[in-house]
Chain A
Amino acid sequence: MPHLVELRDIYKIYHVGDSEVHALDGISLTIDRGEFVAIVGSSGSGKSTCMNIIGCLDVPTSGTYKLNGREISNYSGDELAEVRNKMLGFIFQQYNLIPKLSVIENVQLPLLYGGYSDKEQKVRAMAALERVGLASKAKNMPTQLSGGQQQRVSIARALAGDPSVILADEPTGALDSRTGRDVMRFLQQLNREGNTIILITHDNSIAARASRIVRVTDGRIVYDGPVEGDENVAHQAAAGREEG
């Protein structure tokens, strides 16, 4: 069985004026099914760029990326759209719900583009909302919900298409710490149910919820291993356990 995610020697270089910015400076990384990986690093270290490439939202300047064993570097825009639709579920810091669509319509979107029938869309979207405990808010507009609820809607949307990988970029960044913890607990539960989760965060205490840490600094991986091996995260993890 091929690795679910396999990055080899990935560079992403931006040209800003005359200078080059190496947002990713030679990243190699493999992630397998069922893992819960946290990509950690300070702001500007290249985490989001990395997630965008894994999420097929962006293409690397050089290097190869295999998703589920398939090399996707030369996929067309529509083929990448299909990959995102079928294999990837996104959770963004700003939730990224479409404000003029109702909660259920938002959750239906990946199913709509996946070619599901109207009825099937409703059934699956409802099931996804059920999982995040927001079935009762299906007809509401996103703006009528709290931040935590909106983030749960976006999790439902990510789950609706039954993706192979869930990508979460600072999912708790816009939430207070309690709601943030709820969201993290929910992601942990999804992981226990067998979902592969890639979490992006600059917050060590959030990263502590993952089972594997990939630490990025200046576009390079400086640590890749269990939580216990990363000083900062391990410290937070210990503190978290003491708290109960």
Chain B
Amino acid sequence: MSLTKSFIMALSSIISNKVRSLLTMLGIIIGIASVIVLVSVMNGLTGEISSIFNEFGTTSLTTSITPRSNKEVKPEELYEFAEQYPDMFAGVSPNVSVSGQVKTPDSGDDYLTGSATGVSEDYYDIKRVDMSFGRFISYEDCENRSKVAVIGSYQAMYFFGLSSKAVGETIRINGTPYTIIGVIEEEAESAESSSDDVIYIPYTTALKANGTNIVSSYTVDAASDEVVDEAKALLESFLLEKVGDSDYFTVISMKAIIDQMLEMMDTMEMVLVAIAGISLLVGGIGIMNIMLVSVSERTREIGIRKSLGAKHKHIMTQFVMESGTVSCIGGIIGIILGVSFAYLAGRLLGMDVAPSMGAVGLAFGVSVGIGVIFGFLPARKAAKLNPIDALRSD
């Protein structure tokens, strides 16, 4: 007996019992749909998060040092150190924060409370800054302690109404005037406290403004993703030598944070899928239940088939095919629903939610597998019936 023949037989049996078949499939439909939605949304979320982090650069090592007398790390020392390992480090930038009032000569009483960050020219590459107008801080600016500033689109919009108008204008930070040399590309709709709410000035200028020459924070850029861990270890041993105590400095690797984050997302995804998987299990049990009912309802039919020469395998095939087909159809409906819901969720959450082909394929395989596994027991019950007992039943 061919498989297509038994498939057609299974289909006609399912069609002759539409409502019951649909109810039987429900567990599988819900299970498969929810697995697909969950996997898709989690994938979308993971993609979203890692792209946000990638913006900051996965290779950057954020270093902070607690200032102690004679134990500081001077910018020149760190530059010199980094230059010794050109295949480990791509750039170094001090981070010097200057906080206070931000205003323009024309803004009168209107000001923003904010801070400017003093950085070096390397910062441009480390953080992958995109300029929309003008240029970033240069080596010369740092050397000359120029009073220049690069501002974010939030400040530009706030003070000048338009990013293009800001370049060449003056901005005052705690009263000190800075010439605006560039505006950074908008990233976060120019919202307050967002990544668009920034001001960069040369670190040398910032140190002078703070009246100090001690830098307590650096951003160091590793040469590539592959060497991040090695570069981090190297940097730490340098800092240990300089600072003398590992309690007084920290090096945070962006990559480690992202990895940890993604790992957490993976775990969460597994937990969610496992929960959704329970509904698949329940669906499977539902199928088994209905198949057992079907076997006892059709005992006489089984007896007739046996009297005509149906062997164990024929009856097995008939019932396993039937439950396999039921859950397979349920799986297909579940996939269609799941993919639709995933896209809908993507629309609503405003992110790129693409159900992976792998997840869809796996879902389909699982639904067929469930049908076959949970159909096996009832099918065997049918196949083992004694022909005469089966014939006599009604």
Contacts and interface: CB of A to CB of B under 8 A. Distances in A.
Nearest to B301: A98
Nearest to B4: A118
Contact of B307 (A55, A78, A97): A55
A97 B304 CA distance: 8
Nearest to A117: B2
A171 interface: no
Contacts of A36: none
Contact of A100 (B12, B305, B308): B12
Interface in B295-312: 300-301, 304-312
B304 A96 contact: yes
B300 to A, nearest CB: 8
A77 B391 CA distance: 15
Interface in A120-161: 157, 161
B388 A81 contact: no
B331 interface: no
Contact of B308 (A58, A77, A113): A113
Interface in A63-81: 77-78, 81
Contacts of B371: none
Contact of A78 (B1, B2, B312): B312
Interface residues of B, number: 23
Given A57-B307, A109-B305, A113-B1, A77 B13 contact: no
A57 B387 contact: yes
Contact of A110 (B301, B309, B313, B386): B309
B388 A57 contact: yes
- Residues of B contacting A: mostly: helix
Nearest to B298: A98
Contact of B309 (A58, A86, A96, A100): A86
Given A100-B16, A113-B1, A113-B314, A84 B388 contact: no
Interface string B1-26: 11001000000110010000000000
A109 B313 CA distance: 15
A90 interface: yes
A58 B388 contact: yes
A85 interface: yes
Interface centre among A84, A86, A114, A157 (most CB of B within 10 A): A84
Contacts of B308: 84-85, 90, 109-110, 113, 157
Contacts of B313: 78
Contacts of B16: 100
A96 B307 contact: yes
Interface in A81-105: 81-82, 84-86, 90, 92, 96-98, 100
Contacts of A78: 311-313
A118 B311 contact: no
Contacts of B304: 96-98, 109
A100 B13 contact: yes
A96 B310 contact: no
Contact of A114 (B305, B309, B387): B309
B301 A113 contact: no
B309 A81 contact: yes
A84 B388 CA distance: 13
Size band of the interface chain A makes with B: 20 to 34
A175 interface: no
B303 to A, nearest CB: 8
Highest count of chain A CB atoms <10 Å: which of B309, B311, B387: B309
Contacts of A81: 306, 309-312, 387
A110 B1 CA distance: 11
A113 B304 CA distance: 12
A109 B314 CA distance: 11
A86 B311 CA distance: 12
Contacts of B1: 112-113, 115
B311 A113 contact: yes
Nearest to A86: B309
A52 interface: yes
A82 B309 CA distance: 6
Nearest to B384: A77
A124 B308 CA distance: 15
A221 to B, nearest CB: 21
A52 B304 CA distance: 13
Interface in B341-360: none
A61 B304 CA distance: 23
Contacts of A110: 308-309
Given A96-B391, A109-B304, A113-B309, 20 more contacts: A55-B307, A57-B307, A58-B387, A77-B311, A78-B311, A78-B313, A81-B309, A84-B309, A85-B308, A86-B309, A98-B301, A98-B304, A98-B305, A109-B310, A110-B309, A113-B1, A113-B308, A113-B311, A157-B308, A161-B309
29 contacts: A55-B307, A57-B306, A57-B387, A57-B391, A77-B312, A81-B306, A81-B309, A81-B310, A81-B311, A84-B306, A84-B308, A84-B309, A85-B308, A85-B309, A96-B300, A96-B307, A97-B304, A98-B301, A98-B304, A100-B12, A109-B305, A110-B308, A112-B5, A113-B1, A113-B311, A118-B2, A118-B5, A157-B308, A161-B309
Interface of B: 1-2, 5, 12-13, 16, 300-301, 304-314, 386-388, 391
Give 8 closest A-B pairs by Cβ, nearest first: A85-B309, A113-B309, A58-B388, A110-B308, A57-B388, A78-B311, A81-B311, A57-B387
